[in-house]
A and B are shown apart, each in its own frame.
Chain A
């Protein structure tokens, strides 16, 4: 396992352990993610995928180890990071419009007390255009469909103008059109040199969507280019005896 961490890495994780109340949730995670990759984080429920993401983003305390973004601690380089939380993590009944939510991506750059101005609004509008729902910008967010809400979250991350994106299950419960739109967007981001780490559930689409994979089940089972690590062996090590899932995956391997 790599224990050297080149400073130009968008994300390097060194011996990271996170524990809730003495029970480790992920342990000894050690990763180097190269720039310009679409990285899938896969593993069974409770494998610690979201925990890994939140620990990288400094949202939960680390029990040991460190995380660097482009060779610096998160605190220093967080302006290079974009974040798409799980859609269910917020109350969509909140009295704001889609545009308001997307503009939140610009808040930190604006700094304390300064209100959202024309520049921020047009930036947010551009981001909404990129995810294909500019026509819904004024809509209150509870009046959007699940897929549209997910697009709003993606647009907000785009408005952050980041270089590394962390996305927590952006494909969860979205319609087919939205899934396709997200995939296209991810590819565009990758092609412009951005790195995206995406927590993903559907093993069938994994080899098709991602060019780098992290197999996670409390520890890192494997991390590397999809072509090398998407093997039955790694899947079994990650998912254990859950055979129905394995059948799914085996089919995916045959197709890839």
Chain B
């Protein structure tokens, strides 16, 4: 087991070896987070998966070719070239299947992914007995620790290039991903842009094979942008976050993998990214589940309060004009809106908590507080003016109606409210509900 000192030393990059490896993986995470965001928005994430799996036979074949040419067989440029060729071939197959047959994308993807990976597995089994084949399997699950300085430099160069290109093409890729038809109609070469995006994805995938492995690199392309989307509605911020999440996943994943000799880097990177994803899904400020829940219950409480106070006011109206604040029998409230008994109890407890109801000795008599009475009359007036507005101005955009606004005047303007109130004459200042006549007591 590693000691605490080992752990800190690795994460804080104190050892030269891990420093190199971890920084390289983080750079890769940054580049794939940014590229993956565009891939996700173009709805082509599956293509990334097909691409990465399709690199497998290329690695084995390149190894075999280099061996038979008398080389070492493990030269990285050769292996990566093989991976690129077969990966691109896989994507081309997928496009060909989709465009010439009527098969859907997911079918074409599943086909290419499995056939290429199967071929790769067969080739790998054949070359496994050759000298020097040990270590080839690190391309499947990734082994960041086996990277040397030159590998990391390659990752850095490619990562920087990919990131810079993606940012340079920010507006072109945005319009491509959002509205392909419009982009084409204004003269953007859609096909060229798609190929460029694919080139970026291929570059990230192939250079990431060693660190993350071909089975899991897709996670590096998909998880960071998906997690980032929970935090923001802005593309720029999403790109920054996605890059950052990718980089952090790479950093932590590679560090932990360096600590435990047998843990593949790819798996740890995916697990780290997934943890960040889970956190984003729960607590994301734009779409996080928790925030949404809180909003929802807040809304429920507000609507509950409005219903209760309006019901109370409407009952008070039937108890004599001008309306005055008197105790209301609980039974009347219960009948007024056909609440279930426990629901009304909950609403009353909430109102008591908000000081809208006076605490009284008799639970069957409800007495509004001074502020509760004021609030009730305000809510009732707003509600009726809105109803009237909708009835008299049904042709005007319903989207302008915001029943929650504290004062109708804020939305409709004082003039409109005066006009509406004039229409209600000679009724009292707080107009009667236009569609409900209060029932006699």
Residues in A neighbouring B238, C-beta threshold 8 A: 95
Task: Kindly identify, within residues 226 to 259 of chain B, every residue whose CB is under 8 Å from any CB belonging to chain A.
Answer: 229, 232-235, 238
Task: Kindly identify, within residues 104 to 121 of chain B, every residue whose CB is under 8 Å from any CB belonging to chain A.
Answer: none
Q: Which of B353-361, B392-400, B426-434 contacts A (4 or more CB under 8 A)?
A: B392-400
Contact assessment for A115 and B187 in the assembled complex, using a CB-CB cutoff below 8 Å: no
**Interface 0/1 of B184-207, CB less than 8 Å to A:** 111110000000000000000000
With A95-B234, A116-B171, A177-B397 known to touch, is A107 a contact of B188 (CB < 8 Å)? yes
Query: What bracket does the count of chain A residues touching chain B fall in?
Result: 35 or more
Q: Which of A9-17, A82-90, A187-195, A205-213 contacts B (4 or more CB under 8 A)?
A: A82-90
Task: Kindly identify, within residues 299 to 351 of chain B, every residue whose CB is under 8 Å from any CB belonging to chain A.
Answer: none
Residues in A neighbouring B398, C-beta threshold 8 A: 175
Contact assessment for B182 and A113 in the assembled complex, using a CB-CB cutoff below 8 Å: no
Q: Bound state CA distance, A103 and B36, in angstroms?
A: 24
Count residues on chain B whose CB falls below 8 Å from chain A CBs: 30
Residues in B neighbouring A166, C-beta threshold 8 A: 185
Q: Which of A140-148, A217-225, A238-246 contacts B (4 or more CB under 8 A)?
A: A140-148
Contact assessment for A78 and B186 in the assembled complex, using a CB-CB cutoff below 8 Å: yes
Residues in B neighbouring A105, C-beta threshold 8 A: 186
Q: Bound state CA distance, A78 and B229, in angstroms?
A: 35
B170 touches A (CB below 8 Å): yes
Contact assessment for A160 and B184 in the assembled complex, using a CB-CB cutoff below 8 Å: no
CB distance from B102 to the nearest CB of A (A): 10
A1 touches B (CB below 8 Å): no
CB distance from B178 to the nearest CB of A (A): 5
**Interface 0/1 of B154-186, CB less than 8 Å to A:** 000000000000001111101101110110111
Q: Bound state CA distance, A37 and B229, in angstroms?
A: 44
Q: Bound state CA distance, A89 and B183, in angstroms?
A: 13
Contact assessment for A94 and B41 in the assembled complex, using a CB-CB cutoff below 8 Å: yes
Residues in B neighbouring A22, C-beta threshold 8 A: none
Q: Bound state CA distance, A177 and B401, in angstroms?
A: 13
Task: Kindly identify, within residues 378 to 412 of chain B, every residue whose CB is under 8 Å from any CB belonging to chain A.
Answer: 395-399
Residues in A neighbouring B186, C-beta threshold 8 A: 78, 83, 105, 107-108, 160
Task: Kindly identify, within residues 59 to 108 of chain A, every residue whose CB is under 8 Å from any CB belonging to chain B.
Answer: 59, 75, 78-79, 81, 83, 85, 89-91, 94-97, 100-101, 104-105, 107-108
Contact assessment for A57 and B185 in the assembled complex, using a CB-CB cutoff below 8 Å: yes
Contact assessment for B395 and A177 in the assembled complex, using a CB-CB cutoff below 8 Å: yes
Residues in A neighbouring B185, C-beta threshold 8 A: 57-59, 78, 81, 83, 166
Number of A-B contacts (CB under 8 A): 89
Contact assessment for B178 and A115 in the assembled complex, using a CB-CB cutoff below 8 Å: no
Contact assessment for B175 and A107 in the assembled complex, using a CB-CB cutoff below 8 Å: yes
CB distance from B403 to the nearest CB of A (A): 16
With A83-B186, A178-B397 known to touch, is A95 a contact of B229 (CB < 8 Å)? yes
A173 touches B (CB below 8 Å): no
Residues in B neighbouring A83, C-beta threshold 8 A: 181-182, 185-186
Task: Kindly identify, within residues 106 to 144 of chain A, every residue whose CB is under 8 Å from any CB belonging to chain B.
Answer: 107-108, 110, 112-113, 115-116, 140, 142
With A85-B181, A94-B41 known to touch, is A104 a contact of B175 (CB < 8 Å)? yes
Contact assessment for A108 and B181 in the assembled complex, using a CB-CB cutoff below 8 Å: no
Residues in B neighbouring A112, C-beta threshold 8 A: 172
Contact assessment for B174 and A96 in the assembled complex, using a CB-CB cutoff below 8 Å: yes
Contact assessment for B179 and A104 in the assembled complex, using a CB-CB cutoff below 8 Å: yes
User: Which A residues fall within an 8 A CB radius of B?
Assistant: 54, 57-59, 75, 78-79, 81, 83, 85, 89-91, 94-97, 100-101, 104-105, 107-108, 110, 112-113, 115-116, 140, 142, 145, 147-148, 156, 160, 166, 175-178
With A95-B234, A107-B171 already in contact, 12 other A-B pairs whose C-beta atoms are closer than 8 Å? A54-B181, A78-B186, A85-B179, A100-B174, A104-B171, A104-B182, A113-B168, A115-B170, A142-B233, A175-B398, A175-B399, A177-B396
Q: List 21 A-B contacts (CB under 8 A).
A: A54-B181, A75-B187, A78-B186, A83-B185, A83-B186, A90-B179, A95-B41, A95-B229, A95-B232, A95-B234, A96-B235, A104-B178, A113-B168, A113-B169, A115-B170, A115-B171, A166-B185, A175-B399, A176-B395, A177-B396, A177-B397
